[in-house]
Structure 1
């Protein structure tokens, strides 16, 4: 099998969509179809069952994928290491994160990255919510994963790494804890914990609104400077706060309840870096991360893939 044939087959086995496969590999959709047909003639069996509505691997296709994928990853990593040496991708890369689950996923990315680029020392650290962009601007980290929106001219917003439904964190004694779900309108009847520090006003307004969609005022309570403050304040009955759904997996403990919103937008966690300071190391790490996201099934499945793969959370 030629290199492009393997790449097309494995990409289609992952995407199960001819159009997306063509886009990722950088060929026409007809080239994907011709390549698959050629492979099937050579093997003497169908690799994919395809209809007008869906594409699925046959048992023989699944076997070929499972046999080829490890060797292909090894080949890609060997080529990446050679390219890294040739381009001088060495040194250290400091990466920041704002939530335990994004940090967990970044560590899984770093494992793949260091195999591909053994000359780079990746160091991952948490960034406090009270100063979300301070470490980037100070040079303490070169790359960060944090929640948009971003309206900072000196910072560049990159691709989304993780996307999560938004839920409301509250004490089990809170009246809303008896409900299976909540609405943004319910915040008018609660005290909303917010964030203090060097935090842009537009970011606060997005994540901690002062009014419901119908215009009712939302009472604001104590402002947090560290994420851990939210857990103790909620447990003490001082208020409620919106969080990502993955928080229920990472921060669950007696007395805390997580209830999904029926009408609030989800929370994205995207790469951010200082504008004009995009290095080869940084670009390579982002590429590796987005490869990992695609393997997981997209930003919506990124964190959950760690659990299903048997990688325990912090």
Structure 2
């Protein structure tokens, strides 16, 4: 059955009159009659008892109406909700973040966004290193703030919102802890921890496979959360480059942050599933860009 045939059948079943059905659907009476006859041939039985004075559903027609009517209405309702979500800025935006300081920035974006769009709520969801972009693919969040361009052709990303230089997190007992700075070349002198579940192309943005001098960078233990990473670093199990704001917001007695001037900067963007893009997501990205344009980087210089 084609969509138009379903609509004609359901309308006749409700109106029990071919003329009124044709008028309601803006088609000819002949079209209505022809369609009903075609459906009856497909079913192999009459759907309506028709006389010159009345039209009534047959038992088979009644059962078909009871089966198809609610399903058809659910389809219409679903499309209506999708159109409303795509065109309007209402409902809910679910925003993901990684780390306490990043959460504070997302909350500030949410304040700007909700001031502009009071009919739309923002719910925040903490991510883990091990989640990668999984929260997007699992439909847990609509938009995610990460220090990478995203991974895969199914993801879209905003322009870079702000950049941060890297610092190297090392144990307070590590020889690097007494230095004013380290370089990417120094990464070959210890084991660099590896975030669990992060695709290689994203991991390589902050930790290349080798140093500029060609020395291989050995990888150490895996971690799934920020706190796991800091615990391993503090215990001397490895080192790991992090955004500079960690030295301000993640102070620990067992971890020291050493500037890494030649390290690649962390570039923060909002990413989302391209197929799920809505006006809500676009408006949230605009709020984030406007906030950064007005205030600059959300993290003060160390």
Q: TM-score, normalised by structure 2?
A: 0.68
Partner residue, 2:293: 294
**Equivalent pair of 2:167/2:259 in contact (CA under 8 Å):** yes
In structure 2, what is the equivalent of residue 123 of structure 1?
123
Q: Is the 8 A contact 1:185 1:213 kept in 2?
A: yes
The 8 Å contact of residues 195 and 224 in structure 1, kept in 2 or not, is answered as yes
Counterpart of 1:41 in structure 2 is: none
Cα pair 1:162 1:303 within 8 Å, conserved: no
Aligned ranges 1:20-35 → 2 under 5 Å: none
In the aligned structure 1, how far is the partner of 2:155 from the partner of 2:282? 15
Correspondence for 2:55: none
- TM superposition score normalised by structure 1: 0.66
* 1:39-54 alignment, distance < 5 Å: none
CA displacement at 1:88 relative to structure 2: 3.6
The 5-angstrom pairing of residues 232-247 of structure 1 reads 232-247=231-246
- Report the counterpart of residue 167 of structure 2 in structure 1: 167
What are the superposed Cα offsets for residues 8-38 of structure 1, whole Å, 9 maximum, x if unpaired? xxxxxxxxxxxxxxxxxxxxxxxxxxxxxxx
Cα distance in 1 between the residues matched to 2:234 and 2:151: 33
Counterpart of 2:21? none
Equivalent in the alignment of 1:109: 109
Q: 1:276 to 1:224 in 2, by over 3 A?
A: same
Query: Does residue 282 of structure 2 align to residue 283 of structure 1?
Result: yes
Between 133-142 and 205-214, the greater mean CA deviation after superposition: 205-214
Question: Where does the alignment leave 5 or more consecutive residues of structure 1 unmatched?
Answer: 1-86, 308-314
Give the aligned length: 217
Q: For 2:288 and 2:156, how far apart are their aligned partners in 1? A: 17
Greater mean deviation of Cα atoms: 140-149 or 172-181: 140-149
Question: Equivalent residue for 2:141?
Answer: 141
**Maintained 8 Å contact 1:102/1:162:** no
Match of 2:195 in 1: 195
Provide Cα deviations, 1:161-183, integer angstroms capped at 9, x if missing partner. 33111110011110011110001
Q: Does 1:258 align with 2:254?
A: no
Unaligned ranges ≥5, structure 2:
1-86
Contact map agreement 1:244 1:267 (CA 8 A) in 2: yes
Match of 2:215 in 1: 216
User: Which deviations, in whole Å up to 9, do the C-alpha atoms of 1:104-151 show, x marking residues without a partner?
Assistant: 111011112212211111001111111211110111111111121434
Secondary structure of 2:168's match? strand
The answer (yes or no) to whether the contact 1:210–1:217 under 8 Å persists in 2 is: yes
Structure with the greater alpha carbon radius of gyration: 2
- Give the Å deviation of 1:205: 2.1
Asked whether the equivalents of residues 161 and 302 of structure 1 are also in contact (C-alpha less than 8 Å), the reply is no
Deviation per CA, 1:171-214: give whole Å up to 9, x if none: 111001111000111111111111122x2111122222231111
How big is the alpha-carbon RMSD for the aligned residues of Structure 1 and Structure 2?
Answer: 1.8
For residues 239-281 of structure 1, the C-alpha deviation after alignment (integer angstroms, 9 at most, x for no partner) is 1100000001110121211011121121011010101321111
Whether contact under 8 Å (2:205, 2:264) holds in the other structure is no
Q: C-alpha distance in 2, partners of 1:117/1:107?
A: 15
